[in-house]
Amino acid sequence: MSTARQHPSALDVELVGLASPTEERNPASAELDALDARGMVEVILSEDAKVAAAVQARSAEIAALVEVCVAAIADGGTVHYVGAGTSGRLGVLDAVELAPTFDADPSMVAAHLAGGPGAFLAAVEGAEDSAAQGAQLVESECRAGDVVIGLAASGRTPFVRGALEAARAAGMPTALISANPAAALAPAADHPILLDVGPEVVTGSTRMKAGTAQKLTLNALSTATMVRLGTTFGNLMIQVRPTNAKLVARTVRMLVQASGTAPEEAARVLEAADGSVRVALVALLSGTDAEAAGAALADFPRDPRRIGDPAGIRSAVAALGGTLTR
């Protein structure tokens, strides 16, 4: 896809002209440059402390989007993050970190940054101004059953608008995560998550409160989605592939935490389970061997519709006559 700059349309220019809270002056930091370092840090952190509450206020909307993402991934679809600048980079960070934590891959969650991968480290001039490139991205990378989530702090980025409009035209569920309660792009999203974080400490610097709010939202969204897909037991990661000594040690420690078994026994059972954390965990919790645990798990595969036990661990242990005491 070409990243050459295209002249913005009249609508793009109109959207850019709309005010966003992130570009208003913050009275709390009006004299920021007159403060000493301690004073600056206190102002910055005082404003940052407001962000978590702003995200918490949108928990119902985030949860609704979790359900959409879970359903899409369970049916073989992909969740796509689409953004520019800081917003887009945060999407990339969230997507790539799902691999080591939950053994996820781009077929589950993929991130797309205006200007292409190179824009992660260096700004690509004008990349965010092209709605056509956003639409082209969706047409080339997305398919029926996918979900497209636009990330735009200002809520008006043309690249994101093009992607959302193309996705909606193709019948895909759409969402928007923005730090503008009056985001111009909200009508293009089935699930608008509009975070009211107020003006930035440095006017217009959305890498600050707006970026933190988007990161918190993505943390909650993707983590809840992955947990619903059966990648944890309680708060312990079980979708880990112990491919090196460090990961084996971490996995054994997790098995000890979950079962109360001695490390030596947990390591032995993990080896007998051919490195399968789920099989080893069921064997330890039920007091059976790896073969019996594997057979029980075959009857209870990961299933997000099994609320309370999406990983199937509890059901398999119960089927083997075990009892969870924790």
Grade residue 166 by pLDDT with cuts at 50, 70 and 90.
very high
> What pLDDT was estimated at residue 239?
87
Grade residue 49 by pLDDT with cuts at 50, 70 and 90.
very high
> What pLDDT was estimated at residue 9?
55
How far is residue 181's CA from residue 75's CA, in Å, rounded to a whole number? 32
> What pLDDT was estimated at residue 2?
39
How far is residue 179's CA from residue 97's CA, in Å, rounded to a whole number? 23
Contact 124, 89 (CB under 8 A): no
Strands 109-113 and 232-233 turn out to be unpaired
Give the tokens for residue 149. 């989530």
List of residues 6+ apart from 244 with CB closer than 8 A: none
CATH architecture for the domain at 10-228: 3-Layer(aba) Sandwich (3.40)
Give the tokens for residue 244. 């090196």
How far is residue 310's CA from residue 308's CA, in Å, rounded to a whole number? 6
Residue that wins the pLDDT comparison between 324 and 105: 105
What distance lies between CA 69 and its chain's CA centroid?
Answer: 10
Sketch the domain layout of the chain as residue ranges. 10-228, 232-319
> What pLDDT was estimated at residue 325?
58
| pLDDT surpassing 60 at residue 18 | no
Catalytic: 97? yes
Of all residues in the chain, the percent with pLDDT exceeding 90 is 81
| Fold for the domain defined by 232-319 | Helicase, Ruva Protein; domain 3 (1.10.8)
Contact 21, 199 (CB under 8 A): yes
Give the tokens for residue 292. 């019996």
Side chain identity at residue 4, one-letter code: A
Of all residues in the chain, the percent with pLDDT exceeding 70 is 92
Contact 144, 170 (CB under 8 A): yes
Grade residue 5 by pLDDT with cuts at 50, 70 and 90.
very low
- The DSSP code for 151 is E
Phi, psi of 151 (to 5 degrees): -115, 110
Grade residue 8 by pLDDT with cuts at 50, 70 and 90.
low
- In the predicted model, what is the mean pLDDT of residues 202-226? 96
- In the predicted model, what is the mean pLDDT of residues 268-283? 95
Grade residue 26 by pLDDT with cuts at 50, 70 and 90.
very high
> What pLDDT was estimated at residue 248?
83
Grade residue 13 by pLDDT with cuts at 50, 70 and 90.
very low
Q: Looking at 23, 67, 97, 141, which residue is catalytic?
A: 97
> What pLDDT was estimated at residue 231?
95
Which pTM does this prediction carry?
Answer: 0.89
